[in-house]
Structure formats: C-alpha cells, structure tokens
Amino acid sequence: MEVRVLSGALGKPRKSGLFCVLGRWDTHKASHTAAAVDGATGQVLADRTVRARRRSFEDVLRWARRVGAERVWAIEDCRHVSGALERFLLARGERVLRVAPKLTAGARDSARERGKSDAIDAVAIARAAIRHGIETLPVAQLAGVELDIRLLVDHRERLVATRTRLINDLRWNLHDLWPELEIPSGGLIAVHWPERLAGRLARTEQTARVRVARDEVRRIRELTRAINALEQELALLVAQVAPALLAERGCGVLIAAKLVGEIAGISRFATDAKLARIAGAAPIPASSGNAIRHRLDRGGNRQINCALHRLAFTKGLHDPQTAAYLARKQAEGKTRREALRCLKRHLARRVWHLLQTPDTPPQRPSQTAVTIHCNTPISGFSLT
C-alpha cells in the first residue's frame, strides 16, 4: 500500500508529549536522520541517523520508544523518499504527520546552533511542527483504490505520449515512401489502417526506412491494445469508487479517473471551497489598485485543474445547461476563456458533492488484472 495525506485534527497534544521527527532538508535515498524534541520546551533530547532500510526502521522505532512513550512522527514531505518509512510506521500504529519544506524555511535560521547538517535539519522540522501545531498538519494514512487509479491514469498517459511520437515519425516515413497516401486523422489508432499499412509495407522492398516503418506500426498496435485495456480497467474501478461522478453528463471514464486519482480521497477537503482552492479554480484577493479585485490562484494541484478544464470543455459541448451558462457569461462581456474559468469554480463544488461517499472504504473489484506493459514479443518482422 502507498501513503496518502489526509487533512485532519489529531487533537490537542499533551505538554509532556514527544515529537519524533524523521527526515532531511536535503532529500537523499541512502539515509534518514531522526531527532527527538520535547513537545513543551522544544529541547533536543536525542538524535540518530540510520540507513534507509527496513532493518534500520525497526532500530529507529525501538530507539524512539525508549526516548518517549508518546510520539508524533513529523516527517518532511519528501514523497517517494519517505514513502517506505511512512508505510512502515503506519502499519505499526504510529502517528505520522507531513511537514511541508516551506514551513521549515525559518526554523534553521532562527536556531542557536550554526551550520548545516542532517541533525540540524531534523530538529528544524520538529520545531516547525511544534510551532505550527500538530493539529493543523496533514495526517498520513494508507491509501486505497484511488492510488491504483492514479497510477493507471499516469501510465496510460505515458503510453499515449509514446504512441503519439511514434505516429508522428511514422507519418513522415510514409510520406517519404508514398507521397500520395492520405491517412485520416486518428486512422493509425484504428484497426484497419495499421493492418493495411503492415501488409503494404511487407510487400515493399525492405529498405531501412521500410523496416523502421514496419517496426513503428507494430509498436503502435501494441500500445493501442495496452491503452484500450487500461481504459477498460479504469472504467471498472471508477464505476465502483465514483458512480455518481461517472454518471455526470460530459464526464467520461478518463476525466473521472483523473479527478478521483488526483483528489486522492474527498475526505481530505472539509468543504467544496477548499477543493476549489487547491485546484486553482477559486479566486483570491488581488491588489486594491487593480481594476480586477480578484484573480485565480496559480498554485495548487495543476493536474486537478487540468481535469476540471477538460470537464468544463466537454460539458460545454454535450450539456445544454452548461452551454447556456457559457453563452450567458459571454453575453455579459466575458471571453470564452473567462467563462470557462467561472464554470470550473462551479464544477469544483459539483465534484466535491458527487464524490461524497459513506465512511466504508470501497473494496477493490475482483477481476483479472490487465497487462499494463507493451513489450510482449509477437511473431513477424524484427529489426534485430
């Protein structure tokens, strides 16, 4: 299981509590440094550096239990670097928080001890967690099926990008071979066009360009099969996790999967406004001297913003009410782009309500997993 972060309160810590911090300001994969800091005074009690191995995780956990009976692990948000450690601690019932690196920007500068080391950075992370309050920091929790959806969506997008590059190169090779040949847009991801091209290339004199074109056709067909299989698997997962979102007019499987995977659990957001803010679709105050008193937040999750943009565009094409809304905004003097921005704010709220599910987590569907790689050898021509 991977780890996702949920925003939530842990309750008020006791003054005798001990904050065990494990992390580094400079992200490395070889080692981790932990510092035990008293939660009431901020005094450093002990520190320890271990290798980033599971055996070392056992050692540092035993060490932390000896240092303090009450612990909170405030780990610097290093994602893949700290993921194995977070899963290890969560599986053993430890409380784990994530501290954003920007929160520790002034912690080390304000310390009495000068210099730069892993122990100093670990202490800075601990004191930053104490200063900002552990009840306000994101809580780490084992992820569910949303992570599977996000991984499949990301993998499919990489395969699509690879297929697009191959198609572009294949078109140039075919134009050099047969300038009169006209292939419609999207024809190379259909069924009959790759078959026709494979047959015609097999009957042509086997020059280097023809051999490269045959190999590109073969790889494009493999990628298309893998991409279609991934979309079918995503349809099953999204139908179980977010059936209401999938039933929304203009929201297809890929858009719904992108939203579910990037949001990573709607319980992370207490209100629909917070989801809109993290998606970059909520307005924030601008300068009082500016004619436009509000502007959009350019930060946040750009992938959620991208999914909302796709949803707004498709709903504008297929939903009469959405099309009427966009037309009304444009009649008020807004451009098409500004009207879509307004629509995305409403869609963020709509998605928040559609993803509200019972407290019971969804179970993974029992189906045969599809092959998500495309290096299966097939009979026929090979460049080797």
In order, the DSSP letters of 346-380 are HHHHHHHHHT---SSPPPPP--PPPP-------SS
Q: For position 290, what pLDDT does the model report?
A: 55
Name the amino acid, one letter, at 186: G
Q: For position 123, what pLDDT does the model report?
A: 78
| pTM of model > 0.75 | no
Q: For position 144, what pLDDT does the model report?
A: 80
Name the amino acid, one letter, at 281: A
Q: How crowded is the C-beta side of 321, counted as CA atoms within 13 Å? A: 5
Q: Which two tokens stand for residue 363?
A: 């179970």
The pLDDT of residue 159 is above 90: yes
When mean pLDDT is compared over 121-135, 221-235, 254-268, the highest value belongs to 221-235
Q: Which two tokens stand for residue 138?
A: 């994101």
Between 350 and 109, the higher pLDDT residue: 350
Q: For position 340, what pLDDT does the model report?
A: 87
Instruction: Parse the chain into domains and list their residue ranges.
Output: 3-143, 146-237, 243-354
Instruction: Please tell me the distance from the alpha carbon of residue 277 to that of residue 284, in angstroms, as a whole number.
Output: 9
pLDDT tens track for 29-88:
777 788 888 777 777 777 878 777 777 888 888 888 888 777 888 888 776 777 788 888
Beta strands at 283-285 and 294-296: parallel, antiparallel or unpaired: antiparallel
Q: For position 272, what pLDDT does the model report?
A: 86
SS3 26: coil
Task: pLDDT band for 17, please (50, 70, 90 cuts).
Answer: very low
When mean pLDDT is compared over 48-57, 244-253, 287-296, 335-344, the highest value belongs to 244-253
What percent of the chain has a predicted confidence (pLDDT) above 70? 77
Runs of H (alpha helix) within 204-335: 208-241, 243-246, 253-263, 272-278, 302-318, 320-331
Average of per-residue pLDDT values in the chain: 78
Taking alpha carbons only, the member of 284, 305, 282, 304 closest to residue 294 is: 284
SS3 303: helix
pLDDT tens track for 229-284:
999 999 999 999 999 999 898 899 999 999 999 988 888 888 888 888 888 887 77
Instruction: Please tell me the distance from the alpha carbon of residue 209 to that of residue 176, in angstroms, as a whole number.
Output: 9
Task: pLDDT band for 113, please (50, 70, 90 cuts).
Answer: low
Instruction: Please tell me the distance from the alpha carbon of residue 35 to that of residue 130, in angstroms, as a whole number.
Output: 13
Taking alpha carbons only, the member of 305, 307, 309, 280 closest to residue 295 is: 280
Fold held by 3-143: Nucleotidyltransferase; domain 5 (3.30.420)
Beta strands at 31-38 and 44-51: parallel, antiparallel or unpaired: antiparallel
Between 332 and 359, the higher pLDDT residue: 332
Output the CA torsion sign for 283, 292, 303, 315.
Answer: positive
pLDDT mean over 8-13: 36
Instruction: Please tell me the distance from the alpha carbon of residue 20 to that of residue 103, in angstroms, as a whole number.
Output: 17
SS3 195: helix
The pLDDT of residue 116 is above 70: no
The pLDDT of residue 140 is above 80: no
Q: For position 381, what pLDDT does the model report?
A: 34
Q: For position 380, what pLDDT does the model report?
A: 39
Q: Which two tokens stand for residue 22?
A: 């494990």
Q: How crowded is the C-beta side of 343, counted as CA atoms within 13 Å? A: 28
